[in-house]
């Protein structure tokens, strides 16, 4: 993760990059921290070498690992997460993804929206997860 602030007029805003090749092309960053809030972009289940585990539960866990790394860079933890959004490609993977999400958030209990979408960018991805955190809102 790389932290930078490209908006010197707003020192309260910190952009956090994961180094994803999509970030400069699409003009986004992994997370944006503003004050005590951290907004983490949709995180797909990609390993650093570009591989994807086919297991939906493992994919959910990988998405949350990526989210956690961005939160730590922003000075937050998973315990500060107040909302997650989970995008599934098939309702059949819901239970497996729910287990992965629940294993990391069972004691935190953020608000959650889970939806089934027609597709994600890579057909191997079963899930993509976004998160919002408030630093100091630890469960």
Question: Domain total for the chain?
Answer: 1
Upper half-sphere CA count for residue 77 (Cβ side, 13 Å): 8
- Give me the tens of pLDDT residue by residue for the chain, a chain 139 residues long: 555 655 556 678 999 998 888 888 999 999 999 999 999 999 999 999 999 999 999 999 999 999 999 999 999 999 999 999 999 999 999 999 999 999 999 999 999 999 999 999 999 999 999 999 999 988 6
Residue 76 CB: number of other CB atoms within 10 A?
25
Q: For residue 95, is it within any domain?
A: yes
The Cα diameter of the chain in Å comes to 47
Domain that holds residue 10: 2-134
CATH for 42? 3.30.1330.40
pTM: 0.91
Q: For residue 139, is it within any domain?
A: no
Q: Which two tokens stand for residue 113?
A: 């929206």
């Amino acid at each position: 993760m790389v932290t930078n602030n490209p908006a010197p007029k707003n020192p309260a805003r910190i952009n956090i990059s994961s180094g994803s090749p999509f970030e400069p092309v699409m003009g986004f960053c992994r997370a944006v921290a503003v004050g005590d809030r951290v907004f983490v972009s949709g995180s797909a289940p990609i390993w650093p070498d570009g591989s994807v585990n086919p297991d939906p539960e493992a994919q959910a866990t990988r998405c949350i690992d990526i989210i956690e790394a961005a939160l730590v860079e922003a000075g937050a933890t998973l315990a500060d997460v107040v909302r997650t959004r989970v995008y599934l490609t098939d309702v059949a993977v819901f239970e497996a993804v729910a287990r992965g999400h629940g294993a990391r958030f069972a004691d935190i209990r953020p608000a959650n929206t889970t939806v089934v979408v027609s597709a994600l960018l890579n057909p191997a991805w079963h899930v993509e997860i976004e998160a919002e955190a408030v630093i100091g809102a630890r469960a």
